[in-house]
Chain A
Amino acid sequence: MALWALTLILFIIVIAVFAPFIAKYDPAAQDLSQRLKAPSLTHILGTDDLGRDVFSRMVYGARVSISVGFFAVSITLFIGIIFGMVSGYFGGWVDSVIMRFTDIILCFPTFFLILIVIAFFEPSIINVMVVIGITSWPGLARIVRAEVLSIREREFVLASKMLAVSRLRMFFAHILPNVISPIIVYAAIGIGGAILTESGLSFLGLGVQPPMSSWGQILMQGKDYIYVAWWLSLFPGLVILITVLSFNMIGEALRDILDPKDNKI
């Protein structure tokens, strides 16, 4: 299952990278004589209300979704790993301050915070990535902290300390490799989550702005033509589902592989 998921993701990434060669039409090219045409041989997924080719728009939309997923999660990882490691390693008041801050952020509905920031700054792909990234680290920080706590007193950490290894080296060469498994799992599932959030924002008109296209945005247009153009609502949603599902499958498979505690009974 996970291999299938991985293949699918690679396939979507290839499509995103080579979008100009795969899309038959310019995703922004309007052809008002071809408005709201059902799927056919010329437009395999139909056209939208401005006569744009839905397939081409979805191919280019893959670029948005995939890059939002990866960039947002990179930001999450950066913040979450540093806060988690610092908190777990130093303990004491540093730990208290970071963890209380984490508790506070966790009290807010994330989607609400994201909506506010996006609505007040300009909605754009960069802002979407950054905002999703900086609102989803608390969970990861907690996980990393718990892992670091469990290895902090181990011999190899004490040995490195005695060898007066620099803090930076200690964190990234000694501690990080030992706490990496749950981080990888979190990242895989986080990419799926970020893609979902982006599509939700675009659906509310707060994500990527036209003429750029994203899967959520096509869905947003589609909702006004529910009665006449089902293809506008069906295909983008299906692609989002399949992509997010694949990332979650990969995350789950990694969890099984990386977590030795969960042996089969």
Chain B
Amino acid sequence: MFNYLIKRLIYSIPILIGITVITFSVMYFTPGKPTDMIADFNIKVTSEAKERLVALYGLDKPVHVQYWNWLRRVVVLDFGSSFKDGRPASQKILERLPATVLLNVLSILLMLIIAVPVGIYSAVRRYSLLDRILTVIVFICFSVPAFWVALLLMIVVGLWLGWLPISGLTSFNFENLSLFGKVLDLAKHLILPLIVSTLGSFAVLSRYIRSGMLDVLKQDYIKTAYAKGLSKKQVIFNHALKNALLPLITIVGLSIPGLIGGSFIIETIFSYPGMGRLGYDAIMARDYPVIMGIGVISAFLTLLGNIIADVLYSTADPRIRYK
């Protein structure tokens, strides 16, 4: 167990370096210099001043020197100052991170709560009427554009029915509410973004669980369990379920980049104050330090999620450790 963890951590060092190389090169090879943004909108900036600006950010140095200087600062989470308001990019990102993590953690929980029963039912009662209906629903959820659902929900639930707020995370009078009122207010704001961000991932997950369960049900030990005279309920819940749910750990780990990626569009539509919205605004404003910070941090979170998933998996399934 401990050895496996160490091995896994060593293995992730080159990946971590790779993440920084990719982030750096994406920004390095895209057209335009970061300083153009500051200089172009101000006609008073002379070409000498522009050059000074370029030198200030070290953009006149060779590429490997630039990368090394950037990397040295990234290690201590210093991504530089935002071009927009001059505040440290890492501070801006860390402020927004909790809202995104809150949305995604809730989304993962909701996805599990719905997908597990749906997947298992569909596998156990394969080709039944309800399985067919669930399959169609799952396929629709998987194929529907999330932003379109968001639009429709905003129109119907938010505007016509007026049940839920359609933007932001808190109401204007949030500070004056009681603790219970605050929680209620947060919950109300979270419902619509949560539904939209869960749709697609729930669909994928329930299909995995369905096919995983179908595989398990074909195994010999399930036949043995039936042969012993156990009831269907006992076989499914005591014998099959545990093994069918094992891959869940990996799939949840793998779904993290998708959730973070989805946050960019969902948070933008709902004006949700998370990292995705910040990232979209930063991209639109060419705010290099913030974009690079978000790239590195979201990739790092994914890597961390995968490591946790792998270690959990090896704890749950000893076969993995000895491979």
Contact B152 A120 (CB under 8 A): no
Given A109-B257, A111-B262; A245-B143 close (CB under 8 Å): yes
Judge whether B242 is part of the interface by a CB distance below 8 angstroms.
Answer: no
Cβ-based interface call for B264 (8 A)? yes
Query: Could you say which residues of chain A place their CB within 8 Å of the CB of B154?
Result: 226
Interface residues of B in 1-55 (CB under 8 A from A): 14-15, 18-19, 22, 26-27, 30-32
What chain B residues lie within 8 Å of A223 (beta carbons)?
151
Taking a contact as CB atoms under 8 Å apart, the answer to whether A120 and B32 are in contact is: yes
Q: Which of A111, A227, A237, A244 contacts B261 (CB 8 A)?
A: A111
Contacts of A216 in B (CB 8 A): 145
Q: Are B31 and A105 interface neighbours, CB within 8 A?
A: no
* A212-239 contacts to B (CB < 8 Å): 216, 219, 222-223, 226-227, 230, 233-234, 236-237
CA distance A94 to B107 in the complex (A): 38
Within 8 A of B (CB), among A84-121: 100-101, 103-113, 115-117, 119-121
Report the separation of the CA atoms of residues A117 and B32 in the bound assembly, to the nearest whole angstrom: 12
Known A-B contacts A106-B257, A120-B32; A111 and B18 likewise in contact (beta carbons under 8 Å): no
In Å, the complex CA distance between A51 and B300 comes to 48
- Please give, as numbers and ranges, the residues of chain B lying within 8 Å of A241 by CB-CB distance: 140, 143-145, 148
* Contact among B27, B147, B257, B279 with A219 in the assembled complex (CB-CB below 8 Å): B147
Q: In this assembly, does B125 line the interface, its C-beta being within 8 Å of a C-beta of chain A?
A: no
Interface flags, B132-176, vs A, CB<8A=1, else 0: 000000011011111110011011000100000000000000000
Q: A108-B22, A233-B151 are in contact. Are A100 and B295 (CB under 8 A)?
A: no
> B247 in the interface, Cβ–Cβ < 8 Å?
no
Report chain A residues within 8 Å CB of B314: none
The answer, yes or no, to whether A265 is at the interface (CB within 8 Å) is yes
Q: Closest Cβ of chain B: how far from A148's Cβ, in Å?
A: 19
- Residue from B143, B155, B303 within 8 A of A244 (CB atoms): B143
Contact B268 A204 (CB under 8 A): yes
Q: Contacts A112-B260, A230-B155 given; indicate if A265 touches B291 (C-beta within 8 A).
A: no
The verdict on B299 contacting chain A, using a C-beta distance below 8 Å, is yes
How many residues on B have C-beta within 8 angstroms of the other chain's C-beta atoms? 52
Determine whether B284 belongs to the interface, using a CB cutoff of 8 Å to chain A: yes
Report the count of interface residues on A (CB-CB < 8 A): 46
Q: Which residues of B contact A120 (CB under 8 A)?
A: 30-32, 286
Determine the chain A residues whose CB is within 8 A of the CB of B263 once the complex forms.
109
Q: Quick one: closest A residue to B304, CB to CB?
A: A107
Which B-chain residue is minimally distant from A120 (CB atoms)? B30
Bound together, the chains give a CA A121 to CA B286 distance in angstroms of 12
Give bound CA distance, A138 to B143, whole Å.
21
Q: Nearest B residue to A104 by beta-carbon distance?
A: B18
C-alpha spacing A113/B258, complex, angstroms = 12
Chain B, 210-255, CB within 8 A of any chain A CB: 211, 214, 217-218
Give complex CA distance A133, B283 in Å: 21
Given contacts A223-B151, A237-B151, contact A203 B265 (CB under 8 A): yes
For the complex of A and B, the 3 pairs showing the least CB-CB separation, nearest first, are: A109-B261, A237-B148, A104-B18
